[in-house]
Amino acid sequence: MENYDIVIVGGGPAGLAAAVSARKSGIDKILILERDNELGGILNQCIHNGFGLHTFKEELTGPEYAYRFMQQVFDEKIEYKLHTMVMDISDDRIVTAMNRTDGMFQIKAGAVILAMGCRERPRGALNIPGYRPAGIFSAGTAQRLVNIEGYMPGREVVILGSGDIGLIMARRMTLEGAKVKVVAELMPYSGGLKRNIVQCLDDFGIPLKLSHTVVDIEGKEHLSAVTIAEVGSDGKPIPGTEERYTCDTLLLSCGLIPENELSREMGVNMSPVTNGPIVNESLETSIPGVFACGNVLHVHDLVDFVSQEATLAGENAAAFVKNGCKDVSDEKGIEIVATEGARYTVPSTVSLDRMNDLLTVRFRVGAVYQDSYVSVYFNDTRVMHNLKKIMAPGEMEQIILQKEKLKEFEGLNKITVKIEKE
């Protein structure tokens, strides 16, 4: 059995940034395990620009952004294995994986970083009525077909769901000559970034119908039409509001789910809200020496934030290895609670002994809020009250905690994040 200081599961933007960060923190034996045939993850098929504004202070395409980190991995001579599927990780950090060159093999890791990313919610989870004809794709599958394989899924398109991939594919299909007839969204608000609604729908005259869903699919061999209808506050279609669109393609962009089968199997404590691991300020899970970052932890809207988070995970995994793999799982941290409009926070606890001078706490709201305040309470005392013109579920929010302020507050055992009108 080979030994490595740090094993990283996933060679996408999170895994690459974590590896580079760990190497710069002084760790020599690092191994990235990636199941695809190349590093870079989902960014390889995201050929649109808009990446890198925070990280590199310039606008890049997805492959360009990924290559910046891949080049650092190559320069640092960090080891990686492609076509490699991780089958199991034990609680004492023995990683079982397999590929066609090495067969089944095991690695003993000083620390493990989970960076598997996320996947799209499949049709089976959406309760869409009708047959299952050809012509129904997830938005990400269509993106790969168009941008990497060079195939057009269809010419007349309806999109269900207004997640960022769906919005971007509305523009992409239009640019390739298809007619995108409508984007229907079940919720009363869009799940994507405001800039994507403007640049991908408004600029191309593509209608966005909020509080609408697909109620019928026509065609047995191949899709021929879909019917959408408005839904009420109970989520049920309202009779008489049906609209029929002839089309040969239906793209589904109904949310992303962190890829956490491995995490669950190894016994990591999971958040019912994010479907990702519950982590502390070091991005360490409930299993000592196992860290999580990027979309496997919670779904991000900007890859720049993924890289920031992964850099922190790499530094903390390196510190764990250097400190002799000290188990701090019994150390009680200060609880961070999301309530009254805030859905969750990452991290969920913070230890003053281990936190840096500044800690970024990221969260999402559960509805659209205008002219409201992000409030932070230490125990029952309000210490932060920041006015925000607008907040929406599709855009991540954040607050910055200062170690000095936390230390000054006597008897601090709970930090609460909530949304208030005044």
pLDDT tens digits for range 17-28: 999 999 999 999
Q: Which amino acid is at 227?
A: T
Question: What is the mean pLDDT of the segment spanning 286-307?
Answer: 94
Residue 171, helix vs strand vs coil:
helix
Cα separation, 316 vs 284, whole angstroms: 8
Take residue 23 and report the two structure tokens written for it.
């190497």
| Residue-averaged pLDDT of the chain | 92
Say what the pLDDT of residue 117 is: 94
Question: What is the mean pLDDT of the segment spanning 7-34?
Answer: 96
Cα separation, 86 vs 95, whole angstroms: 7
Question: What is the mean pLDDT of the segment spanning 199-214?
Answer: 95
Neighbours of 133 (CB within 10 A): 16
- The answer to whether the beta carbons of residues 93 and 75 sit under 8 Å apart is no
Of the ranges 10-14, 129-133, 407-411, the best mean pLDDT one: 10-14
Residues 6+ apart with CB under 8 A from 10: 32, 33, 34, 41, 114, 115, 116, 117, 294, 296
Q: Is the pLDDT of residue 350 over 60?
A: yes
E strand or H helix at 174, and its extent?
helix 164-175
Question: What is the mean pLDDT of the segment spanning 332-358?
Answer: 91
pTM of the model: 0.92
Q: Is the pLDDT of residue 116 over 90?
A: yes
Residue 124 — pLDDT band, cuts 50, 70, 90?
Answer: low
Tell me which residue of 230, 228, 229, 233 sits closest to 245, measured CA to CA. 228
Cα separation, 363 vs 343, whole angstroms: 7
Take residue 240 and report the two structure tokens written for it.
């008489």
Say what the pLDDT of residue 91 is: 87
Indicate the DSSP class of residue 306.
H
Indicate the DSSP class of residue 147.
I
Question: What is the mean pLDDT of the segment spanning 345-368?
Answer: 92
Q: Is the pLDDT of residue 81 over 70?
A: yes
- How does pLDDT run across 179-193, given as a tens digit for each residue? 999 999 998 988 888
Say what the pLDDT of residue 121 is: 81
Strand partners, 216: 227
Residue 333 — pLDDT band, cuts 50, 70, 90?
Answer: confident
Question: What is the mean pLDDT of the segment spanning 310-323?
Answer: 94
* High-pLDDT (> 70) share of the chain, %: 97
Q: Is the pLDDT of residue 204 over 60?
A: yes
Question: What is the mean pLDDT of the segment spanning 23-50?
Answer: 95
Take residue 327 and report the two structure tokens written for it.
């188990």
The rounded radius of gyration (Å) of the Cα atoms in the chain is 22
Say what the pLDDT of residue 125 is: 57
Say what the pLDDT of residue 331 is: 61
Q: Is the pLDDT of residue 330 over 60?
A: no
Residue 396 — pLDDT band, cuts 50, 70, 90?
Answer: very high
Cα separation, 159 vs 152, whole angstroms: 15
